[in-house]
Amino acid sequence: ISIYKFDDNFMTLYRTELVRYLTEDLGFKAENVVVQDGKGDQAEQTNQINNFITQKYDVLILNLVQASSAPEITDMCKEAGIPVVYINREPDEAEEQRWVDEKINATYVGCDARQSGTYQGEEILETETKGDINGDGKVSYIMIQGDPENVDAQYRTEFSVKALTDAGVEVEELLKQRGDWDQAKAQQIAQDALNQYGDKIDVVFCNNDAMALGALQAIEAAGRTVNKDIYLVGVDALVEVVENVMNDKMTGTVFNDYFGQAHTAADKALDFVNGKDVDNVYMVDYVKVTTENAGDILEMIK
Ligand code: BGC
């Protein structure tokens, strides 16, 4: 297993569950499950994967630093006869189709990020003011993006706003900036935006919860109050964020089901090893987190 970087809140939950499931539920010995940190550096991660190949591991589960490296890495694994399960960072469609056309033992397990974006937009539409909390007739927002090379970031950005415009709501983008999935970067972006745009901002969209937590710090420091004079949504359903949603400190989030994703990824890795048929793509559903179901979600993740 190689994770794009260990220093990522969501991927840490995912990785922990993946190892737990492989060892406790599927019965792998701990010493047979090796996990490495890609440290956010594709060259370094490619080296690690080369070492995995030299050591003849039976199957690889890879969370690439750059999804665009999938064709090269897939070919390396194919040469060596080692199947690969990609997770979390989706290779492009042409690459996924090539696995089918060339009968390559590779698959992707993830979620359709369009769904999470749409849910974020719906959460804003479901607020009392339909997102227009300052009442000036349009929904003005700032968008704090993940790594824009990542399709999760691209789709969440596009589809959160699309949910509003599809509902006939007028929108205005005040700012769109990359926060690379990172809490501290997002806090700075939100702080600068609040200084610059003040009460004009109705909504802060964040592509993930780590960044939403950063934005929340900036919002509170600026003397603003979520759900009173500004809305804030993220994606992932980190424990702290789900608690904030329950306590009316954040508007909403979307559960990025790392249990379902980790289990499917491990199951498919085992299927490859056992010579079973494996499709090229498996998608796990996102779940909208509302005040009604937040308690149930919290029970699952805590
Ligand atoms: C998650 C982010 C995470 C990223 C890593 C996304 O699906 O929502 O929190 O940083 O994956 O690739």
For residue range 149-205, list pLDDT tens digits in order.
999 999 999 999 999 999 999 999 999 999 999 999 999 999 999 999 999 999 999
If you search the block for the tokens 């890609």, which residue do you land on?
Answer: 38
Distance 210 CA to ligand 1 centre (A): 9
Please work out whether the CB of residue 181 comes within 6 Å of at least one atom of ligand 1.
yes
For residue range 2-33, list pLDDT tens digits in order.
999 999 999 999 999 999 999 999 999 999 99
- What does the pLDDT average to over 271-276? 98
For residue range 33-44, list pLDDT tens digits in order.
999 999 999 999
- What does the pLDDT average to over 270-276? 98
Please work out whether the CB of residue 208 comes within 6 Å of at least one atom of ligand 1.
yes
Q: Which residues pair with 221 in a beta bridge?
A: none
Backbone angles phi, psi at 79, to 5 degrees: -50, -40
- What does the pLDDT average to over 231-253? 97
Q: Calculate what percentage of the chain has a pLDDT beyond 90.
A: 99
pLDDT of 249 reads: 97
> CA neighbours within 13 Å on the CB side: how many for 80?
22
Q: Calculate what percentage of the chain has a pLDDT beyond 70.
A: 100
**Of all atoms in ligand 1, which is nearest to the CA of residue 116?**
8
Distance 88 CA to ligand 1 centre (A): 7
User: SS3 letters for 123-191?
Assistant: HHHCCCCCCCCCCCCCEEEEEEECCCCCHHHHHHHHHHHHHHHHCCCCEEEEEEEECCCCHHHHHHHHH
pLDDT band at 95 (very low <50, low <70, confident <90, very high): very high
pLDDT surpassing 90 at residue 70 = yes
Distance 262 CA to ligand 1 centre (A): 14
- What does the pLDDT average to over 126-130? 97
User: SS3 letters for the chain?
Assistant: CEECCCCCHHHHHHHHHHHHHHHHHCCCCHHHCCCEECCCCHHHHHHHHHHHHHCCCCCEEECCCCHHHHHHHHHHHHHHCCCEEEECCCCCHHHHHHHHHCCCCEEEEECCHHHHHHHHHHHHHCCCCCCCCCCCCCEEEEEEECCCCCHHHHHHHHHHHHHHHHCCCCEEEEEEEECCCCHHHHHHHHHHHHHHHHHHCCEEEECCHHHHHHHHHHHHHCCCCECCCEEEECCECCHHHHHHHHCCCCCEEEECCHHHHHHHHHHHHHHHHCCCCCCCEEECCCEEECCCCHHHHHHHHC
Please work out whether the CB of residue 8 comes within 6 Å of at least one atom of ligand 1.
yes
pLDDT of 290 reads: 84
Please work out whether the CB of residue 236 comes within 6 Å of at least one atom of ligand 1.
yes
Please work out whether the CB of residue 11 comes within 6 Å of at least one atom of ligand 1.
yes
pLDDT of 125 reads: 98
pLDDT band at 252 (very low <50, low <70, confident <90, very high): very high
pLDDT of 292 reads: 87
Distance 5 CA to ligand 1 centre (A): 11
**Of all atoms in ligand 1, which is nearest to the CA of residue 111?**
7
- Best residue among 6, 10, 144 to mutate for probing ligand 1, ranked by most atoms within 8 Å of CB: 10
pLDDT of 291 reads: 85
- What does the pLDDT average to over 104-116? 98
**Of all atoms in ligand 1, which is nearest to the CA of residue 207?**
8
Distance 182 CA to ligand 1 centre (A): 10
